[in-house]
Structure 1
Amino acid sequence: MITVGVLCEGQTEENMVKQFLGPELLAYGINLVPTILLTKTAAGGPSSRGGVSKWSKIERDLRNLLAGTPHWAAVTTLLDYYGLPQGSPGMEDRPLTTSARQRVEHVERRMAECIDHSRFIPYLVLHETETWVFAAAEQLGELLDERALAGELKRQADEKGGPENVNDSPDTAPSKRLLRLCPEYNKTQDGPAAVAYLGLDALRLACPHFDAWISRLLALVPVP
């Protein structure tokens, strides 16, 4: 058994680890430990967690995790590409004429170069964790008893060429589309439940960039 730390953007991502990724990868010998990004520390008061405002806060938490856990096999991230701070490595010189996956991989490479640590594996979700919910459209529809919602989510994903291509405009990002179609959708509960119902193998088939990240994590497990 190996341990991998996951720096999460917020509660939704933490729930994705606890309810979905953690149980799935445990079967492969990987223990995932989620940590929500620390966004604010008030003098004499409680700390605030969740959300991304500056790259410096992400970098601080990553370096602290890596320094404080030398026994962990790796530290990775579960952050949305949509809304990533413009000051993050690679954001300003992204090759905008290429595909979304090529752009996000460019940013991930720059993040790795910035942190410069052998145990750091960057991962940005194309374009939000709600992307995974688009892949789990049928499961979400069943859980919410909303068959029409499932059909529309699948149609929109197919129209874009797959869930990971559902884009990152403020009006058309996955989370915006979901809430417009289903105002009662609860992202911290309904999303993780639907994706867990879909399962790891099916999500890997639907989302190639996600699949590549999971492959990197599985490669950490020693061969017997």
Structure 2
Amino acid sequence: MVAGLQPRPVVGKERDWRSPGPRRIGVSRLLVHVEGETEETFVNELLRPYLYDRGYSAVNARLMGNARQRSRRGGVKGWAEVKKDILGHLKQDAGRLVTTMVDYYGLPQSGNKTWPGRKTAGGIVFAQKAKTVEDALLADISQGMGGAFNADRFIPYVMMHEFEAMLFSDCERFGRGIGREDLVPRLQAIRD
């Protein structure tokens, strides 16, 4: 499984994600709620073929919040709106896994847009921040879905850094990884 799409264990419940492919819980479709266009492109152009080769029949990205309105920018929408979308997708298709791909620092932490766990995570050690938010997101979605919900169908993923920063962390490896070593000098120039 791709790093980052492996959920963190829920408090009090250990998950076994070692078995390959989607068959472990009887689903073969994945919907990734993403923060922006770069993440959307990553899912559609890189992650999709990788997961197709591992048994998934559909892998799609969905821009969340303001990102869906291409003319408006400003980060992730408030949790209530995103939660409504996630719950709708989970209820609409019982054979679908749903995940998020958002960066921690872009999540609203105050007011009526607050994401679960974000404010609490601000006061704990760095290594536990993403897990704290992910656990809170899973708990909130599970509660919204009701007692019969298979919590393995929602895999919250919160990145501690902007996704774009990872793309430029090693320009040579990135160029090699996408099969475009000719772009390395241009990527390096952008980074520098």
Q: Counterpart of 2:101?
A: 78
Contact 1:66 1:75 in 2 (8 A): yes
Residues 15-53 of structure 1 show CA distances to partners (whole Å, capped at 9, x for unaligned) of 00011111112111123121111449xxxxxx7267413
For residue 61 of structure 2, what is the aligned residue in structure 1?
A: 34
Alignment of 1:181-220 (within 5 A): 181-182=191-192
Kindly provide the amino acid, as one letter, of the partner of residue 66 in structure 1: L
Residue of structure 1 in register with 2:92 after alignment: 68
RMSD: 2.7
The match for 1:128 is: 162
Q: Output one character per residue of 1:145-164: Cα deviation in whole Å (capped at 9) or x when no partner.
A: 428938xxxxxxxxxxxxxx
* 8 Å CA contact retained: 1:38, 1:61: no
Q: CA deviation at 1:96?
A: 3.3
Instruction: Provide the rounded CA distance (Å) in 2 between the counterparts of 1:91 and 1:148.
Output: 33
Gaps of 5+ in 2: 1-21, 23-27, 143-148, 176-180
Runs in 1 of length 4+ with deviation above 3 angstroms? 139-145
Aligned residues: 145
Letter matched to residue 21 of structure 1: L
Q: What one-letter code is carried by the residue in structure 1 that aligns with 2:163?
A: T
* C-alpha displacement of 1:13: 1.1
Q: Where do 5+ consecutive residues of structure 1 fail to align?
A: 41-46, 151-178, 183-224
TM-score (norm 1): 0.56
Residue 19, structure 1, aligned to residue 45, structure 2: yes
Report % sequence identity: 33
Name the counterpart of 1:89: 116
TM-score (ref. length: structure 2): 0.64
Aligned AA (2:185): E
CA distance in 2: counterparts of 1:17 and 1:77, whole angstroms = 11
Residue 135 of structure 1: how far off its partner (Å): 4.4
8 Å contact from structure 2 (residues 43, 61) kept in 1? yes
**Residue 56 (structure 1) aligned with residue 56 (structure 2):** no
Among candidates 140, 146, 153, match of residue 185 of structure 2: 146
Query: Does structure 1 retain, via aligned residues, the 8 Å contact 2:64–2:77?
Result: no
Q: Tell me which residue corresponds to 1:112.
A: 138
Q: What are the Cα deviations for residues 91-135 of structure 1, in whole angstroms up to 9, with x where unaligned?
A: 111163413x31111110011111115221100122121243144
